[in-house]
Structure 1
Amino acid sequence: MPGDKGKKYRLLWISNPVNPTGQFIALDDIHALLSHASATGTFVVIDEAYGEYTDRPDAIRSASAFLKSYPNLMVLRTFSKVHCLPSARVGYMIASSESLRQAVNTYRPMFPFSWFSLYMAQLAVLDTDYVNEIRKRNLERKTHFFELIREKNSELGAFSFLNSDTNTLMFRHRNLGADALHELLAKQGFLTANLNRLTGIQNQGFLRMTLHGDGVNEKFIDAIKNHFA
């Protein structure tokens, strides 16, 4: 936006952590963006679907910290990721002004979710120990995964992995295209997301994987070392 002088936008939608890279945008950068957007009359939505992965046990790292300063801001979170309730289809919005909340309510369905989904979401909000444990476990898995990558670097030189602040990692192969690699990994029993047609990174060969426990990450690394390195 700051580089697009003369252009005006009605709405700017940003995911933080970024989807699909999983990388967290520093709140100082979000603050600067909000300041510019406010000056141009642009509404800003910060989609923090993976936000719980970058929070801390003693602090929430969220754009919601700026709600009192910017009347153009909306922050979204969901129960589909860390809370493991995708089928509940429950999320929430925190808006900086009553007018924004009323505008959203105008288009909201009469019954946006079931009573049971709401009940599950209420239980999830209260279970902070679970969220802290999931975040801790994910950090341990990610640290261990990159330790394995470094140990086997000479055997995995054709692969490159992007660091992430969430439970997913983007990666690609130097010589294999995304479609071919996606199919070959599937035959080895590993399901990945093919990002080759995703706007912004199309035709760059990226796939995305989810970090797992119980030896799955080790099996994945052994598979790519033995079949694709």
Structure 2
Amino acid sequence: SINLDALIEAVRERPRMLLFSNPMNPAGSWLSGGDLSRLLDAVSDETLIVVDEAYAEYAEGDDYVSSLPCLSKRDQPWIVLRTFSKAFGLAGLRIGFGIVGDPQLRALLDRVRTPFNANGVAQAAALAALADEEHLAKVVALARTERARVERFLAGKGLEVAPSRGNFLFFDCRQNASTFVEGLLRNGVIVKPWKQAGFDTYVRVSIGSPSENDHFMAALSQLL
């Protein structure tokens, strides 16, 4: 979970920038609307707020809200980052966008932006993806259903799984994560071991199609 009190204490030091993701990677933790408001209320007007919402499409609903409604009411610089690499499925085109609250900040970003940073094909695909709301809804609904199914499977194996609002799950495999991942790789499954101190038994698995998830669960069962 997110240590909101510690985060609020840190921003009271008036940093030049507050950068965080919501939902967060790798655990999929998120700030509720109330917690997000508490955090933003503690931020100095001099601090640039940057929120990475790469996984927002998977999280919307219940107690999750985008930061945009909160930030749009604030008289300070802010940026919200979004990507087409996740729910929209355009990772190979390397395209995303940022929503900037202050025109002067947007002009400054344009000065340092590299020319031709997004090609025409990627831009056309992004516009088409934004227009196809029905497809996005189907993709997100399937990911949520499969995330819940894989989470139930992992919990049924006695593994601790972090609550997630992303298209992935972060779980304790109860053994060295690197060794565990090598075992999955031999069965054709690629997942990410976490090597940070205190989390060296944790693994992050992305939620795929039903058949891909079946393959992962079968491979995992052979290792436990």
Q: TM-score, normalised by structure 1?
A: 0.85
Partner of 2:169: 169
Partner of 1:63: 67
Matched residues, percent identical?
A: 25
Q: 2:131 aligns with which of 122, 126, 149?
A: 126
Residues 27-176 of structure 1: pairs in structure 2 closer than 5 A? 27-39=33-45, 41-56=46-61, 61-70=65-74, 71-150=76-155, 153=156, 156-157=157-158, 159-174=159-174, 176=175
In structure 2, distance between residues paired with 1:183 and 1:15: 29
Question: Can you list the C-alpha shifts for 1:138-185, whole angstroms capped at 9, x where unaligned?
Answer: 1211222233345xx3xx23x3222211210111222x1111111111
SS of residue paired to 2:109: helix
Cα 1:147/1:102, change in 2 over 3 Å: same
Q: TM-score, normalised by structure 2?
A: 0.87
Give 1:124 deviation, angstroms.
Answer: 0.6
In structure 2, distance between residues paired with 1:5 and 1:213: 40
Give 1:213 deviation, angstroms.
Answer: 2.8
In structure 1, distance between residues paired with 2:11 and 2:97: 33
CA contact (8 A) 1:12 1:45 kept: yes
CA contact (8 A) 1:195 1:202 kept: no
Give 1:6 deviation, angstroms.
Answer: 6.7
SS of residue paired to 2:160: strand
Give 1:202 deviation, angstroms.
Answer: 5.7
SS of residue paired to 2:171: strand
The letter of the residue matching 1:212 is G
Q: 2:26 aligns with which of 20, 35, 54?
A: 20
Partner of 2:185: 186
Give 1:87 deviation, angstroms.
Answer: 1.8
In structure 2, distance between residues paired with 1:211 and 1:203: 20
Unmatched tracts of structure 1, length 5 or more: none
In structure 1, distance between residues paired with 2:110 and 2:201: 41
Alpha-carbon RMSD? 2.1
Question: Can you list the C-alpha shifts for 1:54-95, whole angstroms capped at 9, x where unaligned?
Answer: 125xxx931111233222221010111111111211111111
CA contact (8 A) 1:196 1:207 kept: no
Question: Can you list the C-alpha shifts for 1:2-23, whole angstroms capped at 9, x where unaligned?
Answer: 3248733111110111011122
In structure 2, distance between residues paired with 1:14 and 1:114: 28
CA contact (8 A) 1:89 1:117 kept: yes
Cα 1:14/1:98, change in 2 over 3 Å: same
Cα 1:8/1:163, change in 2 over 3 Å: same
Give 1:32 deviation, angstroms.
Answer: 1.8
